Structure formats: C-alpha cells, structure tokens
C-alpha cells in the first residue's frame, strides 16, 4: 500500500507529522478522524518507487512477530509488567530490526507512553490493525486475550498465504523452464542449424525459411527486446500503482475467467478474517470495516466496500450493505445475516473465511493439477514444431534419395 505523510493534531494539543500506510487518502483520513485526531493535511509520499524495496526490508517478518507476541503473552499472563516483559524479551532476542524497535518502544513506555502509542510510532514495522488491536485490548483491560486472538489471526493468515504460494509454485517453475527452453531453441539452436543449411546451399522449405528469418531477427534484436520488456514492466508497475491504473488493472483481474473468481474469494477470506479479529477486539463495527478495507487488495472491491460502510453509517445492516455493494456471494450473505440476527457476527465471519478458504484451496489444487499437463502439452507442441520445422530439409533430402 502507498505511504502518506500526515500532519495531525492529537487530543492533548500536540501537532504530529508522521507516515502512514493506507489504501487511499480518504480511507486514511476517516481512520485518523475516528481515532480522535484532527487532520491538517495528507499528502502522498513522492517517488515511492525509489525506496519501496527498502521500506519492505524494514518490515518485521510474520514469523518474528508471532514469536514476539507469543513471548509477550506468556510474560503478561505470568504477571510481569510491560516494561519488565520487554526487558526479558530483549535479553533473548537476536539483533535485528525487531530488537531495535523494541528498545525504542521500551524507552517510550518508560517515558509515560502507552503500549499502543509506542507501537504507533513505528508504522513501517507494525500494521495499523495490530496497533488498533493493542489499543482495544488496553481499553477493555483484556490485553492478553487480544494478543492471543491476534496470534491466531497471524497464524491462519500466514498459513493460508503459504497454501496459495505452494499451489502456484510448481506451475510457475514449469512456465519458467518452458520459456527458457523455447528461448534457447530460438536464439541459439535454430541459428546453428540455419548456418549449416546456408553452408550446404540446399533449397529450404517455406516453413523453415520463415522460422530462420524469425530467429535471425530475434537474435539480432534480443538485447533490445529484453531492455524493452524490462522498461515495459517498470513503467507498467508505476502506472498500475496510480489510482486510475490500479482501478483498471483490478477491474480486469476480476473479469479473467476462473482466475478472477480465485482473486475475489481470496479477498473475501482476507476481509472476513480480519474483520472478525477486529470486532472481537472490541472495536466498533464502522471503524472495524474501515480498518479492513485494505485487506481486500483490490481497488474495485475497496470502492464497493467504502460505499457499503457509508450505508452502515446511515443505519443499514451490514449484510444488506454488503449485498448492495456486490461484495460476497449469496451463501456468505446468508451466513452474515444469520450472524447479525443471532449476535454471533464474529463467529459467522470466521465461518465464512474458513468455508471460502477451503473452497479456494480445492480450486487452487484443481487449477494447479490442470495447469501442469497443459503447460507440458503446449511446451511439447511448440518445441516439437520448431524441431520438425528445422528437420524438414533433412526429411526432404531423405525422401529424394529414397
């Protein structure tokens, strides 16, 4: 998500300028206002593409975050104060980004800051959801339960993400191997054969002449082609990160047969699981919805959800607002409606995420199973066609001799 530089006023009269990550400036403004801040200005951080990679390195990885929260939970349950708990963790933790941040957080707490305020000063290290969950736990006086709930959320989210990556890993390898094999054939093998035929001075069939002409052009302009592809990808990514570009790309993604459904269900799983975790932390429904917008990771769906949030603010039930925004299939809407009517919205949201996660897991398995032989067949046909085309002169000579 993009970074924004915000100038905000706190309830105690302080003027603060800091960076936040958010799906859009409007969503960030709503979140800050709902937290009691007065927003003076919000501006997108310029030239983000120059340090996006560096920013990602500053992020604390999920495994370290889970381990830290598990240790913090055990120490708090044992009755240790927050500062003593952080000191104990810092004695055992390896040097790195997390250790550096925790030392600063410990000093801030010693200076009188709350745990959530200390975390909030490090938006590049901790997500807005995590900070809000800690703040909700402090308000309700049930910080251990909040941390435990967030650990469960992280484990489920990370487990689901790994399932998706695993399902797509082997097809990605096959595609890469196929691309490299076909490129090597066209750029190196075919020109070698063409040189042999040229030295022999034999008359070549038309398909062979066309293939040789194509490979000659490809080999001649190959470096330029690679440069053009790299530049094209670079400028496409920059354009796709703009508001209009992202909207077009995300709209196209949802319309791709089969793949679009996978992306939509993945968004539903992420959204419902995050929303359930936030609501369970005791955060009001409207604020919870605003905090969950970014988890959809699709501009089209984010716009629809933002419209649904406005309807919820006007007094419409969540299931009706979501239905009007065309965010979820009928089954999920029925489950959501039942959860609202029975007062078990959090459990029903978890149920929706579990159901669609299982369905998505099955669909990804079927897709990967179907893609693997399809890639092999296409690869075989392309390579076979190239080889046969190059051997046509040999077959012609053999037929003449016979």
4 has which bridge partners? 20, 44
Range scoring the smallest mean pLDDT among 192-201, 317-326, 383-392: 192-201
Residue 148 lies in a domain: no
pLDDT of residue 228: 92
pLDDT of residue 10: 74
pLDDT of residue 56: 42
* Residue with more model confidence, 364 or 320: 320
Nearest C-alpha neighbor of 323 from the set 341, 337, 342, 339: 337
Where is 161: in which H helix or E strand? helix 143-184
**Co-location of 50 and 94 in the same domain:** no
pLDDT of residue 202: 67
What tokens does 111 get? Answer: 């200076």
**Co-location of 107 and 30 in the same domain:** no
**Co-location of 171 and 247 in the same domain:** yes
* Residue with more model confidence, 349 or 96: 349
Residue 143 lies in a domain: no
Residue 24, domain CATH: 3.10.20
**Co-location of 252 and 397 in the same domain:** yes
Predicted confidence band at 203 (pLDDT cuts at 50, 70, 90)?
Answer: confident
* Residue with more model confidence, 13 or 194: 194
Which residue blocks in 59-96 are alpha helix, DSSP H? 62-77, 82-92
**Co-location of 94 and 216 in the same domain:** no
Phi, psi of 216 (to 5 degrees): -65, -45
Q: Sign of the CA dihedral 260, 264, 269, 273?
A: positive
How far apart are alpha carbons 394 and 139 in whole angstroms?
A: 82
11, 26, 58: which is the final residue of a domain?
58
**Co-location of 192 and 263 in the same domain:** yes
pLDDT of residue 51: 44
Q: Structural domain tally of the chain? A: 3
pLDDT of residue 1: 54
How far apart are alpha carbons 145 and 164 in whole angstroms?
A: 29
Task: Residue 340: give the domain boundaries.
Answer: 153-402
Nearest C-alpha neighbor of 3 from the set 68, 72, 55: 55
pLDDT of residue 232: 92
**Co-location of 371 and 258 in the same domain:** yes
**Co-location of 184 and 289 in the same domain:** yes
pLDDT of residue 57: 44
How far apart are alpha carbons 268 and 346 in whole angstroms?
A: 15
Condensed to tens digits (0 to 9), the pLDDT of residues 335-394 reads 889 888 888 888 898 888 888 888 888 888 888 788 878 888 888 888 888 888 888 877
Residue 236 lies in a domain: yes
**Co-location of 202 and 303 in the same domain:** yes
Residue 235, domain CATH: 1.20.81.30
Range scoring the smallest mean pLDDT among 11-15, 256-260, 314-318, 366-370: 11-15
3-class secondary structure for 348-388?
Answer: HHHHHHHHHHHHHHHHHHHHHHHHHHHHHHHHHHHHHHHHH
Distance of CA 211 to the CA centre of its chain: 41
pLDDT of residue 23: 61
How far apart are alpha carbons 42 and 44 in whole angstroms?
A: 7
Which residue blocks in 187-298 are alpha helix, DSSP H? 190-200, 206-220, 222-240, 243-255, 259-280, 285-292
Q: Is the pLDDT of residue 231 over 90?
A: yes
Mean pLDDT value of segment 291-297: 80
pLDDT of residue 375: 82
39, 58, 77: which is the final residue of a domain?
58
**Co-location of 24 and 85 in the same domain:** no
pLDDT of residue 377: 87
pLDDT of residue 2: 66
pLDDT of residue 402: 46
* Residue with more model confidence, 50 or 148: 148
Mean pLDDT value of segment 164-182: 83
30, 58, 86: which is the final residue of a domain?
58
8 Å CB contact between 327 and 272: no
pLDDT of residue 282: 78
What tokens does 31 get? Answer: 């979140």
* Residue with more model confidence, 140 or 272: 272
Residue 368 lies in a domain: yes
pLDDT of residue 39: 85
Rounded mean pLDDT of the chain?
A: 82
pLDDT of residue 235: 92
Residue 144 lies in a domain: no
Residue 383 lies in a domain: yes
Mean pLDDT value of segment 226-245: 89
Q: Sign of the CA dihedral 130, 134, 140, 142?
A: positive
* Residue with more model confidence, 12 or 145: 145
How far apart are alpha carbons 43 and 17 in whole angstroms?
A: 11
* Residue with more model confidence, 400 or 200: 200
**Co-location of 103 and 193 in the same domain:** no
Predicted confidence band at 116 (pLDDT cuts at 50, 70, 90)?
Answer: confident
What residue has token string 């309807």?
Answer: 311
Mean pLDDT value of segment 13-20: 75
Residue 134 lies in a domain: no
Residue 375 lies in a domain: yes
Predicted confidence band at 31 (pLDDT cuts at 50, 70, 90)?
Answer: confident
Q: Is the pLDDT of residue 163 over 70?
A: yes
Condensed to tens digits (0 to 9), the pLDDT of residues 47-94 reads 544 444 444 445 677 888 888 999 989 998 888 888 899 999 888 888
Mean pLDDT value of segment 192-210: 78
**Co-location of 46 and 73 in the same domain:** no
Q: Is the pLDDT of residue 401 over 50?
A: no
* Residue with more model confidence, 348 or 295: 348
Nearest C-alpha neighbor of 205 from the set 3, 45, 347, 400: 400
What residue has token string 């998706």?
Answer: 164
């Amino acid at each position: 998500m993009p970074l924004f530089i915000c100038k905000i006023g706190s309830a105690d009269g302080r003027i603060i300028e800091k960076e936040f990550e958010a799906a859009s400036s409007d969503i960030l403004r709503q979140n800050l206002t709902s937290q009691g801040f007065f927003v003076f200005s919000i501006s997108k951080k310029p030239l983000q593409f120059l340090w996006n990679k560096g920013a990602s390195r500053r992020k604390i990885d999920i495994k370290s975050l889970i381990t830290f929260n598990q240790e913090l939970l055990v120490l708090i349950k044992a009755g240790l104060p927050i500062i003593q708990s952080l000191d104990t963790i810092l004695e055992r933790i390896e040097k790195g980004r997390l250790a550096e941040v925790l030392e600063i957080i410990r000093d801030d707490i010693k200076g009188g800051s709350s745990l959530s305020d200390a975390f909030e000063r490090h938006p590049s290290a901790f997500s807005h959801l995590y900070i809000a969950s800690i703040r909700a736990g402090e308000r309700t006086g049930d910080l251990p339960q909040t941390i435990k709930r967030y650990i469960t959320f992280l484990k489920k989210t990370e487990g689901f993400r790994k399932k998706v990556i695993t399902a797509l890993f082997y097809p990605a390898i096959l595609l890469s191997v196929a691309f490299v094999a076909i490129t090597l054939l066209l750029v190196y093998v075919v020109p070698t054969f063409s040189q042999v035929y040229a030295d022999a001075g034999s008359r070549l069939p038309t398909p062979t002449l066309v293939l040789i002409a194509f490979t000659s052009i490809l080999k001649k302009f190959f470096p330029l082609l690679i440069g053009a592809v790299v530049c094209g990808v670079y400028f496409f990514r920059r354009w796709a990160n703009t508001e209009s570009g992202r909207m077009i790309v995300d709209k196209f993604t949802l319309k791709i047969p089969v793949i679009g459904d996978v992306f939509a269900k993945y968004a539903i799983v992420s959204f419902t699981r995050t929303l359930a975790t936030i609501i369970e932390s005791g955060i009001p429904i409207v604020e919870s919805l605003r905090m969950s917008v970014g988890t959809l990771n699709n501009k089209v769906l984010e716009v629809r959800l933002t419209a649904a949030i406005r309807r919820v603010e006007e007094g419409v039930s969540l299931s009706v607002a979501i239905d009007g925004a065309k965010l979820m299939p009928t089954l999920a809407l029925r489950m959501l409606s039942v959860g609202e009517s029975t007062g078990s919205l959090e459990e029903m949201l978890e149920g929706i995420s579990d159901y669609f996660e299982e369905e998505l897991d099955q669909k990804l398995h079927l897709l990967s199973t179907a893609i693997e032989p399809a890639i092999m067949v296409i690869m075989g046909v392309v390579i076979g066609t190239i080889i046969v085309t190059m051997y046509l002169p040999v077959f012609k000579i053999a037929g003449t001799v016979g």
